């Protein structure tokens, strides 16, 4: 992922936000804010015919040194490319690159309604840790004003930090 991919990354993120089942964020950030809010390691895009079909990034779980190998990740697929394997390829590469960079745990927070994302993560070795009940109040979209649950999933590397 580079700054040149920024407009497509933000466009795909905005489309995910619009579904009301991807994030608590109501508006996509501009590229400088997006860039500053994510780790520089393991920033990926997947393209199809020169078009960005999806992206994945890491965010720090904590600033404490003991958690340096733990990251939360985000993965978004353009609606026109869902169900075609882009998510599988992107998440597989994210796992491989994260391990090459020394990350031993990847975490994901997913709305329970996003069953496709939960299934994707299960296929790539993520375990369901539990559900954070009514953890956040939705501020926009069809579920505005409702408290939302978030499913917590985690993948522990079998090669890093063992």
Q: Spell out the domain ranges in the chain.
A: 3-156
Task: Flag whether the pTM goes above 0.85.
Answer: yes
pLDDT tens digits, 104-133? 999 999 999 999 999 999 999 999 999 999
Rounded distance between C-alpha atoms, residue 109 and residue 111, angstroms: 7
**DSSP-assigned states of every residue in 61-77:** S-SSGGGTTEEEEEEEE
4: CB partners within 8 A, 6+ apart: none
* Confidence class for position 162, pLDDT limits 50, 70, 90: confident
Distance of alpha carbon 37 from alpha carbon 33, whole angstroms: 6
pLDDT digits (tens, 9 = 90+) for 60-108: 999 999 999 999 999 999 999 999 999 999 999 999 999 999 999 999 9
**Cβ-contact 111, 141 below 8 angstroms:** no
* Residue 124 DSSP one-character state: T
What is the homologous superfamily of the domain 3-156 according to CATH? Gcn5-related N-acetyltransferase (GNAT) (3.40.630.30)
């Amino acid at each position: 992922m580079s700054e040149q991919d920024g407009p497509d990354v933000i466009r795909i993120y905005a489309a995910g936000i619009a579904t009301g089942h991807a994030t608590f964020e109501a508006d996509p950030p501009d590229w400088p804010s997006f860039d500053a809010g994510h780790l520089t390691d393991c920033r990926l895009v997947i393209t199809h015919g020169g078009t960005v079909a999806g992206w994945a990034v890491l965010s720090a779980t904590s600033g404490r040194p003991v958690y340096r190998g733990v990251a939360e990740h985000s993965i978004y697929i353009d609606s026109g490319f869902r169900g075609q394997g882009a998510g599988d390829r992107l998440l597989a590469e994210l796992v491989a690159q994260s391990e090459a960079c020394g990350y031993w745990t990847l975490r994901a927070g997913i709305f329970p309604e996003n069953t496709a994302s939960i299934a994707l993560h299960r296929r790539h070795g993520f375990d369901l840790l539990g559900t954070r009940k009514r953890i956040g109040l939705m501020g926009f979209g069809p579920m505005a004003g409702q408290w939302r649950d978030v499913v917590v999933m985690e993948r522990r590397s079998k090669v890093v930090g063992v």
